Structure 1
Amino acid sequence: MKLNKITKATICMLVLATVGCTGDFEEINTNPNGFTPVELEQDFNHVKLGFAPMFNNILVLNPDWVYQLQQGLNSDIWSGYMATPTGFEGGINNSTYFLMDNWNGFIWDYGYQNVMFNAYDIANKAKGKYDQFYSLSLILKVEGMHRITDTFGPIIYSQFGTSDTTIGYDSQEEVYNQMFKELDVAVADLTTRVDANEESTFASTDLSDYKGDYKAWVKFANTLRLRLAMRIVKVNPALAKTEAEKAVAHKFGVFTANADLFKVISPVYTNPIATISGSWLDIRMSADMESIMGGYADPRLATYFDTSKQFPDQYKGVRTGIEIAAKSDHQDFSGIGAVARSREIVLFTTAEAYFLRAEGALRGWNMGGTAQEFYEKGIAASFEQRGASGAANYIADNIKTPKAYVDPSFTVNNSPAVNNVTIAWDAAGTNELKLQKIITQKWIAGFPEGQEAWSDYRRTGYPKLFPVLKNYSAGTITTELGVRRVNFVQSEKATNVGGVATGVAKLGGPDNGGTRVWWDTTAPNF
C-alpha cells in the first residue's frame, strides 16, 4: 500500500469536496472546458456529466490505493474473503481490530464526494424536467449510499446539501425508509417509460451492461429493494416482508438470469484488487475461503484464486488477525485470481437474488417458489456466471464439509473448521441450519465483493469465520463478534462537530467498532 500518498493535502482536498463545504455546488460544478450552458444541455450533457463518477466510485476504481483504503483493508477482510500478509503499522491495524481512522475515512469521503454529491447535483438539474435521469441517479445513489450507512450507521442523508454550520445525521432507520421511497420513485417513473415504449436517452452514459435499457434498470432497482428488505428483517420484519414481496411481485421482477446482474464496465480501469494482490502482494486468499471452498472442492476456486507460489498446485490462505513477523512469511500464498483481472466489476449477482428469495421463502414470504428451489438456482447461477462445471453434483453433495486450516509455517495459526455444514439442502433441517447453508453459498457466490458479505455476516452470523488471534481494540470490539461498524470519520469531526454529535446520539452507543448499527441486533435469526 502506498501510504506515502496519503498526504495532508489529499485529506484537505477531500474535506473540501464533502458535505461540510457544499454551499456552492453550481460554482464547483462549473465546466472547466469553457462550454456554455446551452452547449452543455445539448443531448443532456449537463446532466450526464455526473454519472461516470457515481459509477466509478461505488467501489473506487482509481487510484488503486484508494480502493485499498475504501474497502480492501476493511470489509474485504472482515467478510472473511481476503487477508493481508503485510504487517501494516507493526501489525496493529484494521485486521487486528485497531481501527485506522486515516484509512477508513476514505469510505466516507469518496462516497460523499462522488456518489452523494453527483446524485444531489443531478437531482437539481433533472428533477421535474428530465426525470429519467433523476430516476436513474436515485438507483445509483441507493446502491452507493446504502454501503455507507451499513458501514457507519447514522449518516448525512436528508440534510445533504444544506448550508447550515451543523449538518444533522439521519438515523439508519430513517435512511432506509428514505431509500425505499427513492426506489419507489425510480421504479414508477421508469416503468411508465417502458410501458410507453419510450426510447432511452441514457445508453451513451450507462457504464453498466444495461446499455440504457430502462426495464433492466427497474429490475435492478427491484433486486436492490429485495437486498435492503432482507437487511432489516430482524428490526422491522413486517416492513421487510412488504418490501421484499413488492420487489418480487413487480411485473418486471428481480434478477433471474446472469444477463441481469449489475456490474460496472470500466473503459479504462481494471479491478484494483488485481494490482493490490498481483503487484503489491498486499492481499491474499483468506483462511476462511481455503477452509470452506477447499473443503467443498469447489470448482470456482480456480477462477477466484491463483495457486500458491510457495506451495505449487495448492490453494493456500492467510488467517486474518495473526501476528505477522515478516511479509515474506505469507506473501506467496494464493493471490486473487482471474475474477479480479477484469474491467467488469460485478456489484450485484443474480445468484444473490436467488439466495435472497431462498431466505425470504424460508421466512414464509411469497417469493414465487420454495427455499430449496431458489437455493439450488442460486448455486447454479453462480457456477454459470463463473464458467464452472459440475453444479448438479455440487448441489447434491451431502458429504463434504469445510476443512481444518493449517498454516505450514506457524502452527499457532491452525484451527479446526468452524463452519461445519454440508452443501445439499436438508429438508428435515432446522431453519437455522437452512439459513447457514443459504448464507454460506451466498457468501461464496458473492466473491470478491466484501461489503455485502460483511453485512450478511453481521446480520446472520454466517458463515462462521475463524476468530482473530490478535485483538488490539482495547476491549471495544470482541474477538467473538468482530467489527460491527466503523468510527465516524475525522473529516467530519473537524468540520461538522455538531452533526457528528447527532449521529452519535442516533447510533445508540459509543462511537467505536463494537457498537452495532440499527439492523444488526442481538435478536435470533428466527
Structure 2
Amino acid sequence: MKFYKYSYLAILAVSLALGSCKKSAFVELNTDPGVLYSIKPEEQFLNAAIQAHGQDFEQFYDNYRRIMFWTQQSTANAGNGSVTLKTVGNFNSRYGVFYPTLGSVLTDVQVLISKLPDAEKPKYDQINAIADIPKIYYAFYVSDINGSLPYTEAFQARYGGTLTPKYETQQELYALWDKRLKEVIALLKAPPATAQVSLGKNDLYFHGDVALWAKAASALRLRMAMRLMKRDEATATAIVKEVIADASNLMTSNAEGWVFYADVSFTAGGNWAPDEFRAPKPTVDFMFAQSDPRLRLFYKKNNYTQANMNAAIAKGLYPAGTIVSARQYVGAPVSPDVVKTVSSWFVQKKVDDNLALDTVSYLQWRMFQPANGGGTGKNFFPLISYADELFMRAELAAKGITTEDAQALYYAGIDASISFYDKAAADAKLEDYTAVTAGELTAYKASPAIMYSAPKALEQIAIQSYINFFKQPNEAWALYKRTGYPNATTALANENIMIDGTLYQIPRRAAISAPSTSDLNATNKQAALDNMKADPDFGTAIDDLYGRVWWDKK
C-alpha cells in the first residue's frame, strides 16, 4: 500500500476543521447528544483512524509494559522482576478508546450519511459500508479480552437512542459481525447503481480503494474464524471456505495489506518511546541461529565492538588482549528467576562520559518511534498484513481445513513478512539499516529449522506468525492462547516463567470491574457479567486475569 504523507498535527487539524467548522463545534458534536454538526461523513472517517492509532497510553501501558512482557516480545530494561505477571495497573486502555470515542466517531459517519438529502444518500453507500469494517475490527479487538459488549444499541444516545444499551455475548457478537462483513463485502464488490463519493485522502488506509476494503473485510472474517475454531469449528470452517473460495477476497501483495502509515510526528511523544525495553533472549537466539534477516530490523546490536573494548582496556576495565564476541545480538532472559542469576548482564560499564558498554540488545527504537534520536522516518501500524493472511491460510491448510498448499503459503508468508519489515525499517530510517538481500532470504528458508516439514508444520507456521507479530502484540498473545505456541519445547523456545520458584502462566484476559452505583447501564452490565461468570472457564472472579473469555475455550 502506498504511504500518503500527512503530519499528525495537520491531520488532526484537518479532522477538526474541515468544512469550515470550529474546534469548539466539533467538541460539541462529540459530547452533546443533542447536537449534530455539519461535517462531511468522509471527513469524520479521517478522524476515526487518528483515534484508533494515536493512543500513546495504550502503547505505553498495554503493549510495552504488559502484553509484550507476557508474550516474551521484550523485557524490562534491568530484566523482568517479580511483579512482571502480578500487576496490571492501567491495563485495558482499548475499552476506553472504543467507548465512547472511536465507536462514536465511526457511528457519526453513518448517521451523518442518514441525515443527507435523499438524493445524496445513495452516493454514500460504499462509505456507509466501509465505516463498519474498522468499527467491527476495533469492537472485536476490545471483545477479544473483555468478552460481552454493548454493540447493536451502543453509540446511539446522542441521536435519540438508548443510554442503556444491551450487551451481546461474544457468541452473538461473532455472528452479527460476520453477517455484517459479508453484506459489506458483497456491496463493495457489486457495481454501484449510483456514482459513489470516494473517501479519497480521508482514508489513511486505502485511499478510497473499495476493492482493498473488501479484502480487508475478508481478512477480518478469517481472523475471527481462527478465534472461533476453539468454540465452533463447523461455523468457523464454513466461513474460512467461503472466504478462500473467491480469489478476489484475498490479498496478493504487501501493497494490499491493511496497514496504517503516518509521518514522524505521529509518535513523537514520550509515551511512544521504547528506549527502556530489551530484546528477548528466546527470539533473539532462534533468529540468530537461523540467520533471520529480520534480526537486525527488530533489535539493536550491543556496543561491544573491538574498538570500544580497546577503549575499555585502556581505562583498566578489562585485561589487555580481551577479544569481543563476534555476536552483538544478545537477548535478555525472560524469567525473573533466571534474571537474578545473570543480573551482571544489565550493569553498564562506563568507559567515559560518552561511552558505557552494554551487553544486552534493545528493541530497534525507530521501528516503534521513528522520531527517536532525531529520526525523520515513517510510522507503520499493521492491522492485518499480507503475511498475516498467508500464515492464517497456511495454518488452515496444514490442518486439512482447506485444500490449499500449506508449504507454498508458509514460504510465501516468510517472503511477505521479511519484505514488509525490510521496507518498514527503511521507511523508519533505522540508524544502522542494511537492506535484506535475495541471498539472505533464500538461505534463511533453507536453514534446517525453517525448511518446511509436514510433521512440524503447525509449530513452524505458528513460530513464523509469532515473529511476524513483532508490531502486533495482541495477535502474538492471541496466537499463544489459540495454539499454545511458542512454548518451552518448541524450536523457538520461550521460557517458563518462574518467580520465586513458582511456575506462572500468562494472563489470558482483562480484569473486568463490577459496575459502579452511578453507572446508568449497571443492570445490563451486571447481567452480562453474571452470564460470563456462569462459564467455569471465565475464572474465579471477574477480575481474574487468568480466566478466559468465551472464544478462548480450554
Corresponding residue for 2:481? Answer: 458
CA displacement at 1:330 relative to structure 2: 7.0
Q: Do the aligned partners of residues 222 and 114 (structure 1) sit closer, same or farther apart at CA in structure 2, a change above 3 Å counting?
A: same
Match runs of 1:72-221 below 5 Å: 72-85=64-77, 93=83, 95-100=84-89, 103-126=90-113, 130-161=124-155, 166-193=164-191, 198=195, 201-208=198-205, 210-221=206-217
Q: Distance in 2 between matches of 1:189 and 1:503?
A: 33
Corresponding residue for 1:339? Answer: 367
- Which of residues 300, 310, 329 is equivalent to 2:346? 329
CA displacement at 1:515 relative to structure 2: 0.8
CA displacement at 1:144 relative to structure 2: 1.6
Counterpart contact for 2:148–2:168, Cα < 8 Å:
yes
Match runs of 1:424-439 below 5 Å: 424-427=451-454, 429=455, 433-439=456-462
Q: The residue matched to 2:259 in structure 1 has which SS?
A: strand
Q: The residue matched to 1:344 in structure 2 has which SS?
A: strand
AA paired with 2:67?
S
Task: Tell me the alpha carbon deviations over residues 98-141 of structure 1, each in whole angstroms, 9 at most, x when there is no partner.
Answer: 332xx114221012233212122223222565222221111111
Task: Tell me the alpha carbon deviations over residues 444-474 of structure 1, each in whole angstroms, 9 at most, x when there is no partner.
Answer: 12212111111111110011132323389xx
CA displacement at 1:288 relative to structure 2: 3.0
Corresponding residue for 1:365? Answer: 401
Q: Distance in 2 between matches of 1:201 and 1:154?
A: 34
Q: The residue matched to 1:204 in structure 2 has which SS?
A: helix
CA displacement at 1:225 relative to structure 2: 1.1
CA displacement at 1:207 relative to structure 2: 0.8
CA displacement at 1:348 relative to structure 2: 1.8
Q: The residue matched to 2:497 in structure 1 has which SS?
A: coil
Q: Distance in 2 between matches of 1:67 and 1:329?
A: 24
Q: Distance in 2 between matches of 1:187 and 1:485?
A: 31
Counterpart contact for 2:79–2:334, Cα < 8 Å:
no
Counterpart contact for 2:75–2:277, Cα < 8 Å:
yes
AA paired with 1:437?
Q
Counterpart contact for 2:85–2:507, Cα < 8 Å:
no
Point out where structure 1 has 5 or more consecutive residues left out of the alignment: 1-24, 399-421, 473-477
Q: The residue matched to 1:285 in structure 2 has which SS?
A: coil
Using structure 2 for the length normalisation, give the TM-score: 0.72
Corresponding residue for 2:419? Answer: 384
Q: Distance in 2 between matches of 1:492 and 1:67?
A: 27
AA paired with 2:101?
N
Q: Distance in 2 between matches of 1:480 and 1:229?
A: 29
Say if 2:497 is the partner of 1:468. yes
Say if 2:327 is the partner of 1:299. no
Q: Distance in 2 between matches of 1:106 and 1:319?
A: 28
State the aligned residue count.
Answer: 446
Higher relative contact order (CA 8 A, sep 6+): 1
- Which of residues 322, 328, 342 is equivalent to 1:314? 328
Using structure 1 for the length normalisation, give the TM-score: 0.76
Q: The residue matched to 2:453 in structure 1 has which SS?
A: coil
Task: Tell me the alpha carbon deviations over residues 148-172 of structure 1, each in whole angstroms, 9 at most, x when there is no partner.
Answer: 1112222222231365565443221
Say if 2:347 is the partner of 1:355. no
- Which of residues 35, 40, 44 is equivalent to 1:50? 44
- Which of residues 226, 231, 248 is equivalent to 1:230? 226
Counterpart contact for 2:200–2:207, Cα < 8 Å:
yes
Counterpart contact for 2:508–2:548, Cα < 8 Å:
yes
CA displacement at 1:237 relative to structure 2: 0.8
Counterpart contact for 1:320–1:468, Cα < 8 Å:
yes
Q: The residue matched to 1:376 in structure 2 has which SS?
A: helix
CA displacement at 1:233 relative to structure 2: 1.0
Match runs of 1:243-258 below 5 Å: 243-258=239-254
AA paired with 1:186?
V
CA displacement at 1:306 relative to structure 2: 1.2
AA paired with 2:390?
Y
Point out where structure 2 has 5 or more consecutive residues left out of the alignment: 1-24, 115-120, 309-326, 349-357, 371-377, 423-435, 488-493
Q: Distance in 1 between matches of 2:143 and 2:517?
A: 17
Counterpart contact for 2:367–2:379, Cα < 8 Å:
no
Q: The residue matched to 2:106 in structure 1 has which SS?
A: helix
Counterpart contact for 1:190–1:214, Cα < 8 Å:
yes
Counterpart contact for 1:271–1:345, Cα < 8 Å:
no
Counterpart contact for 1:486–1:513, Cα < 8 Å:
yes
CA displacement at 1:351 relative to structure 2: 0.9
Corresponding residue for 1:19? Answer: none
CA displacement at 1:255 relative to structure 2: 1.5
CA displacement at 1:272 relative to structure 2: 6.9
CA RMSD of aligned residues (A): 3.4
Q: Distance in 2 between matches of 1:275 and 1:298?
A: 30
Q: Distance in 1 between matches of 2:405 and 2:194?
A: 34
CA displacement at 1:234 relative to structure 2: 1.8
Q: Distance in 2 between matches of 1:138 and 1:353?
A: 20
Tell me the percent identity. Answer: 23
CA displacement at 1:375 relative to structure 2: 0.8
Q: Do the aligned partners of residues 256 and 273 (structure 1) sit closer, same or farther apart at CA in structure 2, a change above 3 Å counting?
A: farther
Q: Do the aligned partners of residues 492 and 295 (structure 1) sit closer, same or farther apart at CA in structure 2, a change above 3 Å counting?
A: farther
Q: Do the aligned partners of residues 461 and 521 (structure 1) sit closer, same or farther apart at CA in structure 2, a change above 3 Å counting?
A: same
Corresponding residue for 1:11? Answer: none
Q: Distance in 1 between matches of 2:407 and 2:112?
A: 46
Q: Distance in 2 between matches of 1:450 and 1:114?
A: 23
Q: Do the aligned partners of residues 190 and 454 (structure 1) sit closer, same or farther apart at CA in structure 2, a change above 3 Å counting?
A: same
Counterpart contact for 1:423–1:437, Cα < 8 Å:
yes
Counterpart contact for 1:247–1:253, Cα < 8 Å:
yes
Q: The residue matched to 1:252 in structure 2 has which SS?
A: helix
Q: Distance in 2 between matches of 1:169 and 1:47?
A: 27
Q: The residue matched to 2:466 in structure 1 has which SS?
A: helix
Q: Distance in 2 between matches of 1:142 and 1:272?
A: 28
Q: Do the aligned partners of residues 113 and 479 (structure 1) sit closer, same or farther apart at CA in structure 2, a change above 3 Å counting?
A: farther
Say if 2:292 is the partner of 1:263. no
